[in-house]
């Protein structure tokens, strides 16, 4: 394969994409949501007014604002406004519970928060100390929360002054990743990095102003923000859903002649299991992207055979964009590889222990660098573990590369579990389980799961007098952590296998587990 073309990256903030779209084709529909349509001008105007409302309440350059809401157009307006005000958006998972939210607030120290009513009420109920500026996206806001619509109606529509400083070092977005171990890390992305990411995707995915995209994954992921800004930068339109429903998605592809859609393993499984898959005209769809989870070839092939959907496989991390199949050559698309490096991304395969390059064709850890790479993590000390001299990022993924650049992923050097497209560290669940009064020791590891791709399972050592059962262990986690972190099961063991240094030998637990090697339930 020929290397991707080098791209030009303008020196502009992230919000310049939507501003320019509003100026050049303001009355074109940008977002469709439920029965409503929003033009580029309307999205820009709402975000600009929100920026002025924030500035009028003391929020400004270098500060952070949490966005905690389900998908909706106001989410995008809020992020656009925070950016124009000189702040950075902290993207929390809307399914997180009190302990997870407290961790995110403690790491990022936000001075403002934007939430929908359901999330605002949940936040109030946690008893957490919330930021002083609290904005509710719904008109009926809880006590001590400001209504978003009231704020933007009363605020100036004049665009705030241009941001000052080096856009390569100015924070714009902080999504969360589990990094390598422990609690989730805040991933610090700059304006320059996110501008590069959007332009890389436009070229790699071949998005133009003639495209109609469909997106039902959460906007609180880096995936969602880059898709949205790719729409703003290209002049395409986006059908946005709050959540995935197979029949609704299929019907929408047919009715609105969607050209590009996005998916992961759980979506592919649901499409396969949907009786309506065979009964819709999906001929407008150029491809459905498969990202975030490993491809399950037999499921992908069945969906294609029944519906004609073409799968376009790509590979990225919250920290960096990495690769995609060659979008201009659909005859060469493959399910066994996430493609070749996207524009301006360099790739190395290195020994996981030494970070020294391995021989061509040999297996090692994938290292990448490029213009869309994160600035680092919060907590800052975790950055040194993954960012190497020369700007190389340790992906934690094990694989090899064909001579012509096709990437193959075979394993992970990190002990991460990829559940429903989200990465989670076993130690986060282990820390919780260790707090149970009847659990002496525990270890969490990933097992295959046909709907989530992978799911966490716990090996537990009970106290001598305990009669703790599997259902109680599962419920203990479910009551305290987000759904994608829920245990698929628990087994009781006499001791947790560890090496001489005390490190858990998860491979032994996986090898002894009957669920490993099967497809899961």
CB 323 within 8 A of CB 336: no
pLDDT in tens, 291-318: 876 787 888 999 999 999 999 999 999 9
CB 448 within 8 A of CB 519: yes
Fold of 417-512: GMP Synthetase; Chain A, domain 3 (3.30.300)
| CATH 3.30.300.30 placement within the chain | 417-512
Give the pLDDT of residue 183. 73
DSSP code, position 357:
B
CA-based max dimension of the chain = 71
- Please tell me whether residue 487 adopts helix, strand or coil conformation: coil
Under-70 pLDDT residues of the chain: 1-2, 178-182, 293, 412-414, 499-503, 517-521
User: What six digits make up the tokens of 79?
Assistant: 């992020």
CB 5 within 8 A of CB 219: no
- Please tell me whether residue 367 adopts helix, strand or coil conformation: strand
Give the β-pairing of 146-147 and 133-136: parallel
Question: In three state form, how does the secondary structure of 294-339 look?
Answer: CCCHHHHHHHHHHHCCCEEEEEEECCEEEEECCCCCHHHCCCCCCC
Give the pLDDT of residue 182. 61
CA dihedral 222, 226, 229, 230 (to 10 degrees): -170
Measured CA to CA, the distance from residue 437 to residue 432 in angstroms comes to 11
Closest by CA to 220, choosing from 94, 33, 107, is: 94
Helices (H), ranges, 323-437: 426-434
Measured CA to CA, the distance from residue 455 to residue 451 in angstroms comes to 9
pTM of the model: 0.84
Give the pLDDT of residue 375. 97
- Please tell me whether residue 16 adopts helix, strand or coil conformation: helix
| CATH 3.40.50.12780 placement within the chain | 16-27+39-311
How is domain 16-27+39-311 classified at the architecture level of CATH?
3-Layer(aba) Sandwich (3.40)
Measured CA to CA, the distance from residue 3 to residue 345 in angstroms comes to 10
């Amino acid at each position: 394969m020929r290397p991707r073309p080098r791209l030009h990256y303008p020196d502009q903030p992230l919000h310049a994409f939507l501003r320019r779209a509003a100026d050049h084709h303001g009355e074109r529909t940008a977002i469709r949501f439920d029965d409503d349509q929003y033009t580029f001008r309307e999205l820009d105007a709402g975000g600009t007014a929100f920026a002025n409302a924030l500035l009028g309440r003391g929020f400004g350059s270098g500060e952070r604002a949490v966005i905690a809401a389900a998908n909706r157009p106001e989410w995008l307006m809020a992020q656009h406004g925070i950016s124009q005000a000189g702040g950075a958006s902290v993207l929390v998972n809307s399914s997180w519970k009190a302990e997870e939210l407290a961790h995110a607030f403690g790491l990022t120290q936000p001075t403002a928060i934007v939430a929908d009513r359901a999330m605002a009420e949940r936040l109030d109920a946690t008893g957490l100390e919330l930021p002083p500026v609290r904005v509710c996206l719904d008109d009926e806001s809880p006590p001590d929360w400001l209504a978003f619509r009231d704020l933007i109606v009363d605020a100036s529509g004049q665009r705030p002054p241009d941001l000052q400083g080096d856009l390569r070092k100015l924070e714009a977005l902080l999504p969360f990743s589990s990094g390598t171990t422990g609690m989730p890390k805040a991933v610090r992305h700059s304006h320059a990095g996110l501008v590069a990411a959007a332009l890389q995707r436009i070229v790699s995915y071949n998005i133009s102003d003639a495209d109609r995209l469909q997106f039902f994954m959460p906007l609180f992921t880096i995936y969602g923000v880059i898709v949205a800004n790719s729409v703003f930068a290209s002049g395409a339109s986006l059908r946005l859903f709050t959540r995935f429903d197979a029949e609704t998605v299929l019907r929408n592809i047919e009715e609105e002649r969607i050209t590009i859609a996005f998916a992961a393993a759980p979506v592919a499984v649901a499409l396969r299991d949907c009786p309506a898959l065979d009964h819709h005209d999906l001929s407008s769809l150029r491809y459905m992207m498969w990202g975030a989870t490993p491809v399950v070839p037999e499921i992908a092939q069945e969906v294609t055979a029944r519906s004609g959907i073409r799968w376009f496989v790509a590979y990225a991390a919250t920290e960096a964009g990495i690769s995609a199949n060659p979008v201009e050559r659909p005859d060469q698309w493959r399910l066994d590889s996430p493609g070749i490096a996207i524009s301006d991304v360099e790739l190395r395969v290195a020994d996981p222990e030494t970070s020294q390059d391995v021989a061509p064709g040999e297996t090692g850890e994938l290292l990448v660098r490029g213009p869309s790479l994160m600035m680092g993590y919060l907590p800052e000390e975790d950055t040194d573990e993954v960012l190497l001299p020369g700007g190389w990022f340790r992906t934690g993924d094990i694989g090899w590369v064909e001579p012509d650049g096709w990437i193959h992923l075979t394993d992970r050097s990190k002990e991460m579990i990829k559940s429903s497209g989200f990465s989670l560290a076993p130690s986060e669940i282990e820390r919780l389980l260790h707090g149970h009064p009847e659990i002496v020791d525990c270890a969490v590891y990933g097992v295959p799961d046909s709907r989530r791709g992978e799911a966490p399972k716990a090996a537990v050592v009970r106290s001598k007098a305990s009669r703790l059962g599997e259902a109680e262990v599962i419920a203990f986690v479910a009551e305290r952590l987000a759904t994608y972190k829920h245990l698929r099961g628990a087994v009781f063991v006499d001791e947790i296998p560890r090496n001489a240094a005390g490190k858990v030998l998860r491979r032994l637990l996986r090898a002894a587990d009957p669920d490993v090697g099967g497809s899961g339930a």
